[in-house]
Amino acid sequence: MSKVLDELLELLKLEAIEKNIFRGQSQDYGLGRVYGGQVIGQALSAARQTVPRERHVHSFHSYFLREGDVNLPIVYNVDCIRDGKSFTTRRVVAIQKGRPIFNLSASFHIQEEGFEHQDDMPPCQDPEGLISDQALKNKMKDFLPPSVQEVFQAESPIDIRHEEPSNPYVPEKCPPLTKVWFKAAGKLPDVSGVHKYLLAFASDMQFLPTALFPHGVRFLQPNLQVASLDHAMWFHRPFRMDEWLLYSIDSPTASGARGLVRGQIFDQQGRLVASTMQEGLIRQR
């Protein structure tokens, strides 16, 4: 297991400081703020620790309220809204400096049998034949000033491979579609919750920038303000985050300085394991 993945797994465990109150630290990914996927993963972890073991998260809906400071701990307050016969509902508020920076509502469900159908997996290349995101970053380092090259090339806990990689410093207009493979950069424990926290963590990567593709711009351009506003996710079938998963993303619309993206996540056997949606701020300065 990579060092940075091991550190992330430790961060997702959280520290219990009172009943239904937890504290987490942050990894610095060079964004100048807390990465949204980390807060999602930690909030899910906090909620899960208040739920009976036989119930598993099947969906969550969340809002990003303020930027998080990577140098300060984050406190997660869990509100145990409902414990029903089949479903359990939790609300989590993430707090820094006495103010909420994020909130999440999650629903947990017992395992039940029912009807089955799904969309087909789109045609795709084999991930083992694709160049890694880390190798692409190494190729693009000359576009960056020396002061930020080290941050840009920092190790990631997720191995990412684009089917059709593009250079964010040489933007071109293209359809708002992305297909990317990813998996954890190491072997994970056989704990379903850990795999879900990490998939939620990774689902915020490569997501909102897809809404920029038709406009010939990329999120690293200095005249753009790009930030996630909300994030929703549904878990459909069991999966392993240390095995390859295909993230198929499209953006059906952008308007009013906001863009909408949606994603489907498939395993290598073609099973649809999760779905995502997000709206984000896309503002030209």
Supply the residues annotated as catalytic: 204, 228, 278
Angle, vertex CA 242, rays to CA 53 and CA 120, nearest 5: 90
**Dist. CA 274–CA 176, nearest whole Å:** 20
The arrangement of strands across the sheet holding 74-83 comes to 15-18, 21-24, 74-83, 87-96, 99-109, 56-64, 224-235, 272-284, 258-267, 245-255, 177-184, 158-162
Contacts of 151 (CB under 8 A, 6+ apart): 29, 30
* H helix or E strand, kind and range, residue 195: helix 192-203
Contacts of 48 (CB under 8 A, 6+ apart): 57, 108, 193
Do residues 168 and 153 make contact, with C-beta atoms less than 8 angstroms apart?
Answer: no
**Dist. CA 151–CA 29, nearest whole Å:** 7
Q: Which residue has the tokens 């920029």?
A: 212
- Cα–Cα nearest to 27, from 183, 249, 201: 201
- Total residues belonging to the chain: 285
- Cα–Cα nearest to 258, from 239, 274, 234, 282: 282
